[in-house]
Chains A and B, each alone.
Chain A
Amino acid sequence: MTGLILSRLAQIAVMTVILSLCAFLLIGLMPGDPIEMAIAGDPRLTSEDAARLRELHGLDQPLMSRYFAWAGEVLRGNFGHSRLFAQPVAQLLWPALLSSLELLALAIGIAITLGVGLGALAAARPRLAPFVQGVALVAQATPSFWLGILLIILFAVQLGWLPAGGADAGWRFLVLPVATLAFANLAAYARHSAAALRAALEEPHIRTARAKGASEARVLARHALPNAAVPLLTIAALDAGAMVSGALITETVFARPGMGKLIYDAVMGNDFNLALLALLLVAVVTMLATLAADLAQRWLDPRIA
């Protein structure tokens, strides 16, 4: 187990280095460095000033040595500043990450509850299975940003019940984004829990439980559901990347200040240090989440090698 965790952590570290290197080089190859932006912003800068600034900031160095200098600072915990927000990057990243995690946790909780509920319905009442399958198919095919816009139009513009976007301390700002994201993630849980529960209900211990007179609800909840938990964790592990992607687009639609909006704003504002660090943070958190789901799965089912 420890060996597995260590090798997976090493894999995550390698992926992070590769990702940062690729992103840094690609961004570095782009025409237009920060000094050229400064020149565009202040026409009085002479070419001597520009050359001096380039030297001062190390922008005259070759790309690889710039990468090593940047990576060294990041590893030492110095994330530098955001050009766009004129703030230390670390101060921007943490609140954004917390906001995204809040959104994700609520949405996944609701998606799992509703999805497993629908799956249980399909497994317990085979007549309703086609209905559940239909819901899952539609939920899977619905682009979440479109659903977000439709919800804004209905609840914010037409009915005026809820705010269209932004974020405040209030729960009212969370309702629409959470609903959007939960619906987007519902389908996988519904389909797989239905299949897993149907398989679990065939097992001999279920017959024993029924023979002992356990109610159908109790059989489903106490005897079949724990067996179906492992495949659900597999989905959670496999889908972590997709879920994070979904959270990011949802944030952009609802103008929620989180990691997604931060990355989008940073990319749009040519703030590449911020964009790069935010991307790396999201990637690392996603990979760690995948690892956590994998470990939980092994812990629940020791048969998985």
Chain B
Amino acid sequence: MKVGLALLGLLALAALAAPLGGWWLGHDAFAPDLFNRFAPPSAEHPLGTDDLGRDVLLRLLHGARVSLTVGLAAALAATTIGTVIGLLAAWRGGWLDAVLMRLADGILALPALPLLVILAALDPAIIGLPRGEATADMVRIAGLLAAFGWVGVARLVRASALSLLARDFVRAARALGVSERSVLTRHVLPSLAAPIAIATALAVGGAVLAESVLSFLGLGIAPPAPSWGNMLANAQELVFQAPLAAFWPGLAIMLTVLACNLVADGISRLRR
């Protein structure tokens, strides 16, 4: 848990410090320097340069901004949708519960990646989003990931809410004439904090991983904006010239996912 939180803090700090890093090292993460391609690590370029002579460390830091923002946004959206749907299903019960949970089962049973690949390849212009802009890409990918990510959260929230709704303190609140809205928001929701926190932590890791896969396939964040995934896509074509280029972005993804899983594990251990 502590290790996970420390790692996440470090990564967030790195993302925030990206412009500072550019100022410190004295170059631009986006400016190509064709006379200095594949430079080995040096004081000037701590991790060397890529195929266009851009500083790898700086691009990693800027990639952290993109990847972590998309991951966080997707996870928060997925958690919000999932919590609302899970709570609604548990509270209303009956046919609404059945329909929502069958839908969740159905989505969960599908292989997500081929679906995401096809959906991510659709032209964003049909839903009125501008094409090819980094921010628009980030919104599009985060939205797509949230559309699939809510399912796990909803199931978790529903299961916990069902057992909470049957507890004595909820019955007592109802007997005292507390409105249903209050019962849900004041009595049930606070007790759901831990499962929701666990689901969010896992969702951040999952979203960072999924974003990197899509960007790796060339369907996510489009270059020149750096994301860890599209840095890896570039690296696979350069395995002969720059074998190390593949190492760093993947390590960053792995550490992020590891940190999220550790935090989720830690929270669930705290509850016991």
Contact = CB atoms under 8 A, between A and B. Distances in A.
B145 interface: no
Nearest to A237: B109
Interface size class of B (residues with CB under 8 A): 35 or more
B239 A157 contact: yes
Contact of B117 (A26, A30, A267): A267
Nearest to A146: B250
A250 to B, nearest CB: 11
Contacts of A132: none
A153 B239 CA distance: 6
A29 B123 CA distance: 9
B12 interface: no
Contacts of A241: 108-112
Contacts of A23: 118
Interface in B233-264: 235-236, 239-240, 243, 246-247, 249-250, 253-255, 257-258, 261-262
Nearest to B216: A145
B116 to A, nearest CB: 8
A136 to B, nearest CB: 10
Contact of A152 (B102, B109, B119, B239): B239
Nearest to B257: A141
A26 B122 contact: yes
Contacts of B253: 143, 146
B113 A245 contact: yes
B110 A15 contact: yes
Given A30-B126, A137-B258, A267-B121, A146 B243 contact: no
A279 B254 CA distance: 28
Interface in B206-226: 209, 212-213, 216-219
A283 interface: yes
A174 B202 CA distance: 32
B136 to A, nearest CB: 17
Contacts of A263: 114, 117-118
Contact of B109 (A26, A240, A278): A240
B43 interface: no
A282 B232 contact: no
Contacts of B111: 240-242, 244-245, 248, 282-283, 286
Given A138-B258, A267-B118, A146 B123 contact: no
Interface string A128-142: 000000000110111
Interface string B112-138: 111101110111011000000000000
A56 B69 CA distance: 48
B205 interface: yes
A279 B118 contact: yes
Nearest to A275: B118
Interface in A143-177: 143, 145-147, 149-150, 152-153, 156-158, 164
A105 interface: no
B205 A252 contact: no
A260 interface: yes
User: Which of A27, A245, A283: most chain B Cβ within 10 A?
Assistant: A245
B106 interface: yes
Contacts of A238: 108
A264 interface: yes
B123 A30 contact: yes
A206 interface: no
A55 B112 CA distance: 36
Contacts of B114: 244-245, 248, 259-260, 263, 278-279, 282-283
Contact of A143 (B109, B122, B257, B261): B257
Given A143-B254, A244-B111, A282-B114, 17 more contacts: A15-B109, A19-B110, A26-B126, A27-B118, A143-B209, A145-B212, A146-B249, A146-B253, A149-B232, A149-B239, A241-B109, A244-B114, A248-B111, A249-B217, A260-B113, A283-B111, A286-B109
Interface of A: 11, 14-15, 18-19, 23, 26-27, 29-31, 137-138, 140-143, 145-147, 149-150, 152-153, 156-158, 164, 238, 240-242, 244-246, 248-249, 252-253, 259-260, 263-264, 267-268, 275-276, 278-279, 282-283, 286-287, 290
18 contacts: A11-B106, A15-B109, A19-B110, A26-B119, A30-B126, A141-B205, A141-B257, A142-B254, A143-B257, A146-B250, A153-B246, A246-B113, A249-B217, A253-B236, A263-B114, A263-B117, A268-B218, A276-B118
